[in-house]
């Protein structure tokens, strides 16, 4: 049964130490039936990738709350490609950019960086979960 | 009196140690050349004769042995990600007393296959993938190992979902399946694979290495010498039911070919706000520096520590030190014979201790983020360990042991390296640590008493 579960690697990228949202996501995703590898806070791109390789993960869900998300996330998709994770789903969410910018533009920029989906501040975990299930073809 | 004989079949010397377990004390030690090529018992008999010449005839009630003869327990391992399962495989193998010739990561290629064929290990450890995780890599590697051929046993300790497939690929070979060395992400599970390694060593390696002739004379199991050393270190730190141990410690064994470092300590950060990175650290950790040794790997010491720095410590010119290094490398049985070679030997030993300790100890780094200063620790924090045990020819046969050992301590010039700050140095003058590790398997209290008695304090004033 265990291996039927989809595996997610989650964590807060860069030098960001915001731990609360990360814990909430961990519990929400676990309760929703995912196998969650939680890397916690201050996670480098390499750590996301290494964990995803070893656990054969289906998606990497990156959080960033301190405004440096765009810098921290740049190149993650390319590194995934390099590491043989061409088909892995990439999500990002939180306060991923500085200041008030229209989220459509932010989303477009992250899309160009190779993120399949990005989520604005205040997104409820249920929203992410619904998209994850849709993108990973998980039936309820 | 109840005399027990402990034997260490080393790569060069067969060392014998006699102890009385009745009123625990060391009776004597002696050594002779190891004769693994002909009959290993010849060297043993010779060493025994020398021993009894000193102690008088002894009627041993038991004989136990450990061995690192014929190259030791030579292992190769392959994992998936270098920092994760490959590192876990290496840590587990070293902890089982093996000599890890090389650790491979990701998929093995044709060059790796050629190298593996050439190295022809005693055991191949195949791991990779957490349980339920990646299966592709370990299955690929099992195919490569099958195609290489050879008759060494393969231990499978990777993703459980791939174990049967790998065993099937390797059908016809001796295969041992055991629990995953990393069952879930960043969780180390070393004991099952270490148990398997020990069993393969006992059932197979001893036969293959021509050591079985000696086992007829022995009462107990043989173990790889590094395992015996680890057992002694653990006993000394933790004590027995009846006797207290001395607590957390670090031990450094500077040999001719390698330098081994052992630490017994949790190694957690002093400040709880410190973030921990990397694999969890074993409470008893062994690392082996294959490029740091006093004879075969002497060049590696100056390469790692720098010729200039080493020459300054030896108070020799760089040219002169270079000459002495070449001399020792070419004549591995040479001992320091005059003041210059003695100073060179001690400076090189000091640098060997420093390099090996720096690699063994953890590291603290600082990151300034929006929340202020953030500390990040990788590896073990040994700052508060206050006992430092040293062994190995170059350290025990000099009166400057304390000074040499202090090069393994915390260094203001490299404050991020979490080496011990203030230590009492204990010297293995009679070279008995491995023997006491063996003895501890049967007579732990006697072994601990003798260890405490025989390890000599050096206050470093010389």
The model's pLDDT over B68-117, given as tens digits with 9 standing for 90+, comes to 877 789 999 999 999 999 999 999 999 999 999 999 999 999 999 999 99
Across the range A103-118, mean pLDDT stands at 95
B28: three-class secondary structure by DSSP? strand
What pLDDT score does B157 carry?
Answer: 98
| Domain span including residue A99 | 2-17+30-132
What pLDDT score does A1 carry?
Answer: 42
Under an 8 Å CB criterion, which residues of B touch A?
80-81, 83-85, 128-135, 161, 182, 184-186, 275, 367-371, 374, 376
Give the gap in angstroms from C-alpha A56 to the nearest C-alpha of chain B: 5
Give the gap in angstroms from C-alpha A128 to the nearest C-alpha of chain B: 23
In a domain, A58, yes or no: yes
Percent of chain B at pLDDT > 90 equals 78
Contact A66 B369 (CB under 8 A): yes
First-to-last alpha carbon distance for chain B, in angstroms, is 38
Across the range B56-61, mean pLDDT stands at 93
Q: Which residue of A has its CA nearest to B138?
A: A54
Residues of chain B with CATH 3.30.420.40: 3-70+213-220
Q: Domain count of chain A?
A: 1
Q: Is the pLDDT of residue B215 over 80?
A: no
pLDDT bracket for residue A2 (50, 70, 90) = very low
Contact A42 B275 (CB under 8 A): yes
> Is-catalytic flag, A18?
yes
What pLDDT score does B220 carry?
Answer: 67
Burial of B62 from C-beta contacts in 10 A (0-12 / 13-18 / 19+): middle
- In tens, the pLDDT along B163-202 reads 999 999 999 999 999 999 999 998 999 999 999 999 998 8
Under an 8 Å CB criterion, which residues of A touch B?
2-3, 5, 7, 15-17, 35, 37, 40-42, 50-51, 53-57, 66-67
* Contact present, B259 and B252 (Cβ < 8 Å): yes
Domain B3-70+213-220 in CATH: superfamily? ATPase, nucleotide binding domain (3.30.420.40)
Q: Which of A15, A40, A54 sits opposite B367 (nearest CB)?
A: A15
In a domain, A24, yes or no: no
> Which of chain B's residues have a Cβ under 8 Å away from the Cβ of A22?
none
Residue B448 token pair: 């601990």
| B386 alpha carbon, distance to own chain's centre | 21
> Which of chain A's residues have a Cβ under 8 Å away from the Cβ of B87?
none
Q: Identify which of B316, B436, B276 has the alpha carbon closest to the alpha carbon of residue A39.
A: B276
Q: Which residue of B has its CA nearest to A17?
A: B371
- In tens, the pLDDT along A48-93 reads 999 999 999 999 999 999 888 999 999 999 999 988 898 999 999 9
Residues of chain B with CATH 3.40.50.2300: 74-205
What pLDDT score does B60 carry?
Answer: 93
Q: Which of B83, B133, B184 sits opposite A56 (nearest CB)?
A: B133
CATH 3.40.50.2300 is right for the domain spanning B74-205: yes
Cα B100 to Cα B56, B72, B199, B200: the distances in Å are 41, 10, 17, 15
Which helix (H) or strand (E) element contains residue B32? strand B25-33
CB contact set of B6 (below 8 Å; sequence gap of 6+): B16, B17, B18, B19, B63, B64, B65, B434, B435, B436, B438, B439
> H-type helices in B178-317, by residue range?
191-200, 206-208, 212-215, 225-238, 298-305, 307-314
Cα B43 to Cα A128, B222, B430, B436: the distances in Å are 71, 17, 20, 21
> Is-catalytic flag, A16?
yes
Q: Is the pLDDT of residue B11 over 90?
A: no
Burial of B237 from C-beta contacts in 10 A (0-12 / 13-18 / 19+): buried
* Contact present, B249 and B222 (Cβ < 8 Å): no
CATH number for A94? 3.40.50.280
Residue B304 token pair: 């790692």
In a domain, A23, yes or no: no
Across the range B131-151, mean pLDDT stands at 95
- Mean per-residue pLDDT of chain B: 92
pLDDT bracket for residue B461 (50, 70, 90) = low
The backbone torsions φ and ψ at residue B263, rounded to the nearest 5 degrees and listed phi first, read: -135, 140
Strand partners, B1: none
> Which of chain A's residues have a Cβ under 8 Å away from the Cβ of B182?
54
- In tens, the pLDDT along B218-242 reads 776 678 999 999 999 999 999 999 9
pLDDT bracket for residue A40 (50, 70, 90) = very high
Q: Of A16, A58, A72, A128, which one is the catalytic site residue?
A: A16
Contact A53 B369 (CB under 8 A): no
Q: Identify which of B162, B350, B337, B367 has the alpha carbon closest to the alpha carbon of residue B252.
A: B350
């Amino acid at each position: 049964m265990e291996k039927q579960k989809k595996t997610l690697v989650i964590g807060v990228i860069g030098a960001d130490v915001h731990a609360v949202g990360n814990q909430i996501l961990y519990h929400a995703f676990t309760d929703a039936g995912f196998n969650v590898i939680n890397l916690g806070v201050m996670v480098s791109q390499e750590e996301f990738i290494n964990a995803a390789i070893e656990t054969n993960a289906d998606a990497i869900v990156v959080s960033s709350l301190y405004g440096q998300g765009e810098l921290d996330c740049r190149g993650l998709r390319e590194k995934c490609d390099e590491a043989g994770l061409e088909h892995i789903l990439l999500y990002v969410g939180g306060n991923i950019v500085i200041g008030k910018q229209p989220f459509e533009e932010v989303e477009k920029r992250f899309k160009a960086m190779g993120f399949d989906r990005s989520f604005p501040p205040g997104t409820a975990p249920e929203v992410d979960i619904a998209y994850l299930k849709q993108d990973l073809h998980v039936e309820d | 009196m109840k005399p027990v004989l402990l034997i260490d079949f080393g790569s060069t010397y067969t060392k014998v140690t006699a102890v009385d377990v009745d009123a625990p004390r060391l009776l004597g030690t002696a050594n002779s050349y190891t004769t693994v090529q002909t009959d290993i018992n010849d060297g043993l008999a010779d060493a025994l004769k020398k021993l009894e010449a000193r102690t008088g005839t002894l009627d041993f009630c038991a004989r136990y042995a450990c061995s690192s003869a014929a190259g030791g327990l030579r292992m190769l391992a392959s994992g998936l990600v270098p920092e994760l399962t490959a590192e876990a495989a290496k840590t587990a193998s070293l902890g089982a007393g093996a000599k890890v010739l090389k650790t491979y990561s990701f998929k093995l290629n044709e060059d790796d296959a050629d190298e593996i064929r050439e190295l022809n290990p005693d055991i191949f450890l195949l791991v990779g993938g957490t349980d339920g995780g990646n299966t592709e890599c370990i299955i690929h590697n099992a195919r490569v190992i099958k195609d290489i051929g050879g008759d060494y046993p393969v231990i499978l300790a990777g993703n459980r979902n791939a174990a049967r497939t790998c065993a099937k690929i390797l059908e016809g070979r001796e295969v041992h399946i055991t629990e995953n060395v990393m069952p879930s992400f960043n969780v180390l599970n070393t004991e099952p694979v270490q148990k398997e390694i020990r069993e393969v060593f006992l059932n197979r390696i001893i036969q293959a290495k021509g050591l079985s002739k000696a086992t007829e004379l022995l009462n107990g199991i043989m173990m790889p010498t590094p395992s015996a050393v680890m057992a002694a270190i653990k006993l000394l730190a933790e004590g027995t039911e009846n006797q207290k141990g001395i607590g957390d410690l670090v031990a450094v064994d500077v040999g001719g070919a390698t330098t081994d470092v052992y630490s017994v300590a949790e190694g957690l950060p002093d400040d709880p706000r410190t973030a921990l990175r990397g694999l969890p650290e074993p409470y008893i950790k062994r690392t082996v520096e294959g490029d740091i040794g006093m004879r075969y790997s002497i060049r590696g010491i100056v390469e790692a520590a720098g010729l200039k720095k080493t020459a300054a410590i030896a108070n020799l010119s760089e040219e002169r030190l270079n000459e002495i290094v070449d001399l020792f490398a070419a004549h591995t049985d040479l001992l320091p014979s005059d003041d210059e070679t003695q100073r060179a030997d001690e400076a090189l030993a000091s640098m060997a201790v420093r390099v090996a300790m720096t690699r063994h100890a953890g590291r603290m780094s600082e990151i300034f983020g929006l929340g202020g200063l953030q500390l990040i620790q990788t590896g073990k924090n040994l700052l508060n360990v206050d006992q430092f045990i040293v062994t190995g020819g170059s350290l025990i046969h000099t009166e400057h042991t304390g000074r040499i050992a202090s090069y393994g301590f915390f260094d203001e010039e490299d404050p991020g390296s979490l080496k011990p700050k203030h230590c009492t140095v204990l010297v293995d003058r009679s070279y008995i640590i491995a023997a006491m590790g063996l003895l501890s398997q049967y007579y732990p209290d006697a072994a601990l008493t003798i260890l405490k008695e025989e390890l000599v304090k050096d206050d470093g004033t010389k």
